[in-house]
Structure 1
Amino acid sequence: MSDVDVPHILDNPALASLTGPHARFAERRGRVLRYPVDVSPWLALPDDPGPDDWADLAALAGPGAEVPLPGFRGELPPGWEITFRMEGVQFVDDGLAAAPEPEAVRLGPADVPDILDLVARTRPGPFEARTIELGTYLGIRRDGALIAVAGERLHPPGWTEISAVCTDPAFRGEGLATRLILAVAHGIRERGETPFLHTSAGNTNAIRLYESLGFRLRRRTAFLAARVPERLGEGSEPVPVA
Structure 2
Amino acid sequence: MSDSALHPFGDALLDNPIWNSLTTSHAHLAVGSHIGQGLARRYPAEVGPLSAFQEPTPAAYADLAAIVPEGDVAVLFLEDQPEIPAGWQLLRGGTLVQMVCPSIPEQPPLDDTIVLMEAADIPEMVALADLTEPGPFRHDTAKLGGFLGIRVDGRLAAMAGQRLSPTGFAEVSAVCTHSSFCGRGCAQALVAAVTRNIRAEGRTPFLTSLEANTGAVRIYRQVGFVVRRTFQLAVIKPPSPGIKRVSRISTLR
SS in 1 for 2:19: helix
Match of 2:138 among 120, 128, 132: 128
Q: Describe the superposition over 1:170-191 as per-residue Cα deviations: whole angstroms up to 9, x where unpaired.
A: 2211111111111111110011
Q: Confirm or deny that 1:177 pairs with 2:184.
A: no
Asked whether the equivalents of residues 18 and 34 of structure 1 are also in contact (C-alpha less than 8 Å), the reply is yes
Asked whether the equivalents of residues 70 and 225 of structure 1 are also in contact (C-alpha less than 8 Å), the reply is no
Structure 1 residue 210 displacement after superposition: 1.3
For 1:147, the equivalent position in structure 2 comes to 157
Aligned length: 231
Asked whether the equivalents of residues 64 and 229 of structure 1 are also in contact (C-alpha less than 8 Å), the reply is no
What's the TM-score, normalizing by structure 2?
Answer: 0.82
Q: Confirm or deny that 1:54 pairs with 2:61.
A: yes
Q: Distance in 1 between matches of 2:79 and 2:169?
A: 20
Structure 1 residue 149 displacement after superposition: 0.3
Asked whether the equivalents of residues 162 and 196 of structure 1 are also in contact (C-alpha less than 8 Å), the reply is yes
Structure 1: gaps of 5 or more residues: 233-242
Structure 1 residue 208 displacement after superposition: 1.4
Q: Distance in 1 between matches of 2:14 and 2:232?
A: 14
For 1:237, the equivalent position in structure 2 comes to none
For 1:32, the equivalent position in structure 2 comes to 40
Q: What is the aligned-residue RMSD (CA, Å)?
A: 2.5
Structure 1 residue 5 displacement after superposition: 11
Q: Distance in 2 between matches of 1:222 and 1:175?
A: 29
Q: Confirm or deny that 1:15 pairs with 2:15.
A: no
What's the TM-score, normalizing by structure 1?
Answer: 0.86
Q: Distance in 1 between matches of 2:222 and 2:9?
A: 25
1:48-87 pair list within 5 angstroms = 48-61=55-68, 66-73=73-80, 75-87=83-95
Asked whether the equivalents of residues 154 and 161 of structure 1 are also in contact (C-alpha less than 8 Å), the reply is yes
Q: Confirm or deny that 1:227 pairs with 2:237.
A: yes
Q: Describe the superposition over 1:204-224 as per-residue Cα deviations: whole angstroms up to 9, x where unpaired.
A: 111112112211111111211
Percentage identity across paired residues of the two chains? 39
Letter in 2 for 1:194: T
Structure 1 residue 150 displacement after superposition: 0.6
Q: Distance in 2 between matches of 1:92 and 1:5?
A: 8
Asked whether the equivalents of residues 80 and 228 of structure 1 are also in contact (C-alpha less than 8 Å), the reply is yes
Q: Describe the superposition over 1:77-120 as per-residue Cα deviations: whole angstroms up to 9, x where unpaired.
A: 23333221121111100334154988211112110111112112
Q: Confirm or deny that 1:106 pairs with 2:116.
A: yes
SS in 2 for 1:222: strand
